[in-house]
Amino acid sequence: MYYLIESQHQFEEFAQQQTNRCFVELILNHDLIHPALNDVSLVYIRPESDKKGYIIPILHNEAFSTPFQQVKKLIASYKEVFVRDKKLSMYFLNKKNLIHAPINTEELSFPIYDYYHRQYPNRNDINKFIPIAKHYERCEEYFKHINFTPQSEFYNKAIECFHTIESSGISVDTTLIDDYFTPHNTLHSIKNNIIYSQYNVDTTTKRPSNSFNSINFAALPKDGSRKAFISTNGRFVDIDIDSYHPTLIAKQIGYDFGDESIHEHMAQRYGVDYKTSKELTFKQLYGGIFDDYKHLEFFSKTQTLIDTLWDQFNTGGYIECPISNHRFYKTQLPNMGPQKLFNYWVQNLETSQNILILQDILPIIKGHKIKLVLYTYDAFLFDISKDELELLEDICSVFASYGLKYKMKYGYNYYDLKSFTIYV
């Protein structure tokens, strides 16, 4: 059977093939346009046991089209569908049988794509003009690197959470976006005054990055540029977890900070003011514990944890993180040291705890106007209407259920925020 399927007879013949597992690659109209603003041009399907893959055209200049709903139904019939990017695929396919199977594409080179992007920088459907044979070559190369061992269920669920946040988008003042930011092409990520970010969980620590179209949403400057992000429903509510990393570490080592502020608690032990206490604590957690403070119980127990993780890493060849059960393998992490390993462990712990929080919060707001529009490690930004403020109590209860203290701010834009409190 030829690799290009463009007639109904060919499609029906292909659909009759028996397979439980396959690799699917969606070729969108443009690789650089956000999937929320994109459409499918071609679909590549490669059954695991087959000697080659197949291309089904949806909308391409070189071939007859097959209705995408027909292809979507076929893909839904497979038991396991491995994709390079589950979050992207969820914009177009049913998530139930999708399995995230990322590959490292940095060392793969496909010059024709760069050529077409340079030649036609303003086209939003460039992949419809790149020859199908070239798309096929790229997909066949991708298949060589696919690992058909499923990732953990925990991270597959995490990807679904980040898809929900990402697909909501954030309302923006496009004039201010142009004033403060320099996106590569605003049409790639903005439509109807909604901008889309892109979370990536395929990082070393699994802590997601969030950068798209030359804007780093995970590290937006805390200056006037945040005025560009505005509420659709009437107000933003920003929930910021207080002293997140010390809190998470304390739970793991069995240390109790009591009811007072963590930095006030430590200030009494350092013999310094609040601001200096905060600086001292974070310097030591991320850079190594000072000899002068190793006698303090919190740091004594933290140092024991650091030493234990380092010993397990060297003797057992890996460490396993709490909650996620993610493993850091020695063979995959050269030039590692005890403090760096601990920092990786903390970042994974933070992310894992946040995934549990997201899994609790997203069902609460589902079906309501309120949206979770941005997640930045220790902060959650909600776009909420006045008539749904009561949902904030349920949301705050989630943070409280994990023993987390938090601060809340509200405002029409992401810069002019005022503090307020809800007691649960």
For residues 384-410, average pLDDT: 95
Listed residue (424, 346, 349, 419) closest to 391, CA to CA: 424
pLDDT of residue 421: 84
pLDDT of residue 395: 97
For residues 166-179, average pLDDT: 97
Main-chain dihedrals φ then ψ at residue 409, nearest 5 degrees: -135, 155
- Does residue 423 sit in helix, strand or coil? coil
Tell me: the pLDDT tens digits for 348-390? 999 999 999 999 999 999 999 999 999 999 999 999 999 999 9
Helices (H), 206-271: 244-253, 262-270
Concatenate the DSSP letters of all residues of 171-230 into one string: EB-HHHHHHH---S-GGGTEETTEE---EE--SSSSPPEEEETTEEGGG--SSGGGGGBB
Q: How many residues does the chain have?
A: 424
The tokens for 14 are: 């292909």
Tell me: the pLDDT tens digits for 18-69? 788 999 999 999 999 999 999 999 999 999 889 999 999 999 999 999 999 9
Tell me: the pLDDT tens digits for 267-319? 999 999 999 999 999 999 999 999 999 999 999 999 999 999 999 999 999 99
Strands of 15-140 (E only): list them: 21-28, 40-47, 54-57, 80-83, 98-100
Strands of 174-224 (E only): list them: 190-191, 194-195, 199-200, 209-212, 215-216
- CA torsion, points 176, 182, 187, 189, in degrees to nearest 10? -90
Using alpha carbons only, give the angle 392, 397, 400 rounded to the nearest 5 degrees.
130
Per the CB < 8 A criterion, the answer to whether 107 and 38 are in contact is: no
Neighbouring C-beta atoms of residue 139, cutoff 10 Å: 23
Listed residue (362, 329, 311, 392) closest to 159, CA to CA: 362
DSSP state of 197: -
Helices (H), 181-293: 244-253, 262-270, 274-287
Per the CB < 8 A criterion, the answer to whether 177 and 185 are in contact is: no
Per the CB < 8 A criterion, the answer to whether 33 and 213 are in contact is: no
pLDDT of residue 301: 98
CA atoms within 13 A on the CB side of 252: 24
For the CA atoms of the chain, what is the radius of gyration?
24
Main-chain dihedrals φ then ψ at residue 63, nearest 5 degrees: -145, 160
pLDDT higher at 111 or 2: 111
Tell me: the pLDDT tens digits for 62-79? 999 999 999 999 999 999
Residue 424 predicted with pLDDT over 60: no
Tell me: the pLDDT tens digits for 141-159? 999 999 888 778 899 899 9
